Amino acid sequence: MTEIQAVGTFAGLLLGAVAVGEGLRVTGWSGEATRRTVHGLVGLTTAAAPLWFDRPRGIALLAALFVLANGAALGRGWLRSVHGVRRRSWGTVTFPLALLIALPLCWTPSGDRVVVLQAAFVVLALADPAAAWAGSRARRGGRYRVGNGEKSAIGSLVFAVIAWVSLVGALGWGGERLDGGLLEGAAVVAALAPVAEGLGTRGWDNLWIVLAIVVGGAWLVASPEAVNLGVLAVGGAAAFAFAAVRAGALDVSGGLAASLFAWALVVLGGVAWAVPALAFFVLSSGWSAVGKRTKAVAESRSEKGSRRDAGQVMANGGVALGLLAATVFAPSEALYPAFVAAFAAAAADTWGTEVGTLVGGQTRRLGVGRQVPPGTSGGVSGAGTAGALAGAASVVVPAAWLSPSLGVTAGAALVGVGVAAAFVDTALGATVQARYRLPDGALTERAEAGGVPLPLAAGVRGIGNDAVNWGCTAAGAIGGALVGVGLG
């Protein structure tokens, strides 16, 4: 089959799946039922696509076209078989987006990771709708909330079981020896999948599921001898997340995100990577618990409280997690300094806010503007600046101790990068972060009060503290990567 024929076949099957959904809708099927049907058919078609292609560019082209087409259809309300559900979901956009991201990670010259790509979309095709179906029919017991959504224990269990069967079948069919190691390794990766699914809201679970399986599957293919470590890491990550939720440092969604991070730190990184991340989490959580009465007024104006959710965990650690995952696909000496700097930036920002709010003192907008209350986004004070410096050092010092290749000069540079990135956060907080007007005239980062939307007073609507934190850690990672290049 030529590449043009392969593209035509793939496109025809995808459009055929949508046509099936539209036909079922006309016969009276519900929007949820037709959506799941199309989801499953498209997933299985995508999993089979590598059988027809010698190179990934045709698949990537169609994926990009479907991202655009589905985005337009969602906005205009077309294709009711997939967009005719009450909840607003980006799933039809994130599905091809996940394929677009996974392709360059899995389509290697050796071809050993292509089967991981296929396994990811088999899981997406079968486990996701099956879990939703099982959860919708489960009794009220055994349910738990993740953010604004509700999940069921039976749905998560169904997801994990189907993911395990799919992984064993795909990897065994792809040439891996069907033995105890493969069964255990597939169980490790399958355990990650429902956690990633639980983190996804409004259709973004399509992306997180694929990424979790691609990273875990690539690790399993490359390091089958590390299966026992992976099993221990699953248990340790679950225990860590459970303890953090019970201690009040994280909510359930934050615990799920932290468990994924903890697993990756143990299996992909090791001690040198885990300690800086742990230093940030433990010490920053400790600062959040100090002086709650003093910081109560500032916290009431903030977008979220001190109990971190998945959005906050990923805003502070998502860039670093991406760098850690990149070691599986493209190892580089610049990744570790970038990882450390991303956490140094997060720590500098967190410590600066916590210490500045606790100590108080003169706080000015961007350090030179009008005076603002301590703890205000965009505010700078002497105590906060000292806290930012100490926060960055709290991450860099243990990293430099565990990784002598960094050295004193590079360590000092990374501390500087962390503090500079925290000032990027401050600048973004003062300019683009949304602030809303309360009825009494005061400003808040919360978009609503008592369920009533508030008018925008400054910044850009929709850009909250999590988005600003992503910018902060990304700036830190870029600076850290430059330091790493200098070391090389």
Q: Is the pLDDT of residue 19 over 70?
A: yes
- Of the listed ranges 319-323, 406-410, 411-415, the least confidently predicted one is 406-410
User: By the 8 A CB rule, do 358 and 239 touch?
Assistant: no
For the record, the structure tokens of 18 come out as 């949508």
**Percentage of the chain surpassing pLDDT 90?**
52
- Of the listed ranges 159-168, 174-183, 247-256, the least confidently predicted one is 174-183
pLDDT of the residue at 473: 97
Give the Cα separation of 186 and 120 in Å (integer).
12
For the record, the structure tokens of 267 come out as 């299996």
pLDDT of the residue at 202: 82
pLDDT of the residue at 147: 65
Q: Is the pLDDT of residue 13 over 90?
A: yes
Give the Cα separation of 417 and 346 in Å (integer).
11
pLDDT of the residue at 311: 85
Please, where are the H alpha helices in 27-139?
31-48, 57-76, 80-83, 91-106, 114-137
Q: Which helix (H) or strand (E) holds 364?
A: strand 364-365
Give the Cα separation of 122 and 118 in Å (integer).
6
More confident residue, 472 or 310: 472
User: By the 8 A CB rule, do 370 and 340 touch?
Assistant: no
More confident residue, 267 or 170: 267
Q: Write the DSSP symbol of residue 28.
A: T
3-state DSSP call for residue 365? strand
Q: What is the mean pLDDT of residues 17-46?
A: 93
Ramachandran quadrant class, 470 (left: phi over 0; alpha: psi -120 to 50; beta: rest): alpha
Angle between helix axes 180-199 and 252-264 (nearest 10 degrees) is 140
187-206 pLDDT, tens digit each: 999 999 999 988 877 888 89
318-373 pLDDT, tens digit each: 999 999 999 999 888 899 999 999 999 999 999 998 888 888 778 777 766 677 77
Torsion on CA atoms 96, 102, 103, 108, rounded to nearest 10: -170
Q: Euclidean distance between the first and final Cα of the chain, in Å?
A: 45
- ∠ Cα 43 46 50 (to 5°): 150
Torsion on CA atoms 240, 245, 249, 250, rounded to nearest 10: 100
Name residues whose C-beta falls within 8 Å of residue 376's C-beta, 6 or more positions apart in sequence.
Answer: 298, 301, 363, 365
Q: What is the mean pLDDT of residues 71-97?
A: 89
208-245 pLDDT, tens digit each: 999 999 999 999 988 888 999 999 999 999 998 999 88
DSSP letters for 190-253: HHHHHHHHHH--TTTHHHHHHHHHHHHHHHHHH-GGGHHHHHHHHHHHHHHHHHHHHTTSB-HH
pLDDT of the residue at 373: 75
Q: Is the pLDDT of residue 6 over 90?
A: yes
User: By the 8 A CB rule, do 34 and 23 touch?
Assistant: no
| pTM of the predicted protein model | 0.88
- Confidence class for position 146, pLDDT limits 50, 70, 90: confident
418-427 pLDDT, tens digit each: 999 999 999 9
279-317 pLDDT, tens digit each: 998 898 888 777 666 656 666 566 666 677 888 899 999
